[in-house]
Amino acid sequence: MIHPEKLANKDFLSSCDLSVDEVTHILELAENLKKKELSLNLKNKVLGLIFDKSSTRTRVSFQVAMARLGGTTIDLNPSTSQIGRGEPIKDTARVLSRYCDAMAIRTFNQSDLEEYAQWSSKPVINALTDLEHPCQALADFLTIKEEFCNFENLILTFVGDGNNVANSLIICGALLGVEVRIATPKGYEPNHDVIKKAREISKFKDSLKLFNDPYLASSGANVLYTDVWSSMGEENQKEEKDKDFYGFTIDNDLLKQADKNAIILHCLPAYRGKEITDEIMEGQHSRIFDQAENRMHIQQALLACLLS
């Protein structure tokens, strides 16, 4: 049984903020917490949630994770606070860090998240930005570890938009030595700086491969992963993206290209019949709802490391 170790960085703004050892430690700690082999008490600790974007799993998993650690959560809804009236981030961050022991922030611009961290005296956690979703990636790799026991010789294929989820999978995969394949239509590739960073992390082993053909990308894959084609804030592009992403659905034909023991992941919410079929979501290869549960265990482990 292991116990929480302090992270080198005070904040968790990006998958890049963690070392290989820290990722491994958080995954092992989450496994211990999930199996109820470890009990932690963070009583009197308070987590503030600032969510500029709507959320189900991220919000609830953080709230439950903090409750299981014995702490409390305050939901700082921008529509019912001065945040929504244009109070400067530097003012909000300095005040809230005197009330709360940590803040989980879900917003649009990565630069806004970084500004919160600059002015806050307490840890700031990325609960999703347009650039990254690092808590999601940790839960994803916990789910993969549960299935395959380790990450040796594994291939993860992400099919869809090169979005925030794809970006965090790329970085986390590079840290863990997992071959990550990203299959997108032309023009929807992941962030260039993220690709560059992943290749720097991988050094001599280029574990990242980019495709525009989902069938080639899925050949022999151990994990097939997808996300919605139109992220929050892209509602006006929905019709155009639906056309551009035609053929990028995870269905039985695509699954046949993967390893026979492949698992299916989706960070949810899912639009069945678009990026994934109902049959695949409910099929024997799906680990989607295990993956969703693991958000809670990972965030419990992360909070324990930041606040212990």
Q: Look up 82 and say whether it is catalytic.
A: no
The C-alpha atoms of residue 12 and residue 7 are separated, in whole angstroms, by: 9
The C-alpha atoms of residue 28 and residue 301 are separated, in whole angstroms, by: 9
Q: Look up 295 and say whether it is catalytic.
A: yes
By three-state DSSP, how is residue 120 classified? coil
CB contact set of 2 (below 8 Å; sequence gap of 6+): 25, 28, 29, 32, 38
Question: Of the listed 227, 287, 300, 305, which one is catalytic?
Answer: 227
Question: Of the listed 295, 297, 299, 300, which one is catalytic?
Answer: 295
Structure tokens at 160: 């869809």
The C-alpha atoms of residue 151 and residue 52 are separated, in whole angstroms, by: 35
Q: Look up 68 and say whether it is catalytic.
A: no
Task: Identify which of 194, 200, 154 has the alpha carbon closest to the alpha carbon of residue 177.
Answer: 154
Residue 160 · residue 229 · CB < 8 Å: yes
Residue 117 · residue 90 · CB < 8 Å: no
Helix H or strand E encompassing 169: helix 164-176
Residue 33 · residue 297 · CB < 8 Å: yes
Question: Of the listed 57, 100, 130, 133, which one is catalytic?
Answer: 133
Question: Of the listed 181, 267, 285, 287, which one is catalytic?
Answer: 267
Sheet of strand 72-75: strand arrangement: 72-75, 46-51, 102-106, 124-126
Question: Of the listed 25, 57, 101, 106, which one is catalytic?
Answer: 106
Cis peptide preceding 214, ω within 30 of 0: no
Q: Look up 237 and say whether it is catalytic.
A: no
The C-alpha atoms of residue 308 and residue 3 are separated, in whole angstroms, by: 10
Q: Look up 136 and say whether it is catalytic.
A: yes
Q: Look up 106 and say whether it is catalytic.
A: yes
Question: Of the listed 57, 135, 136, 305, which one is catalytic?
Answer: 136
Catalytic residue list: 106, 133, 136, 227, 267, 295
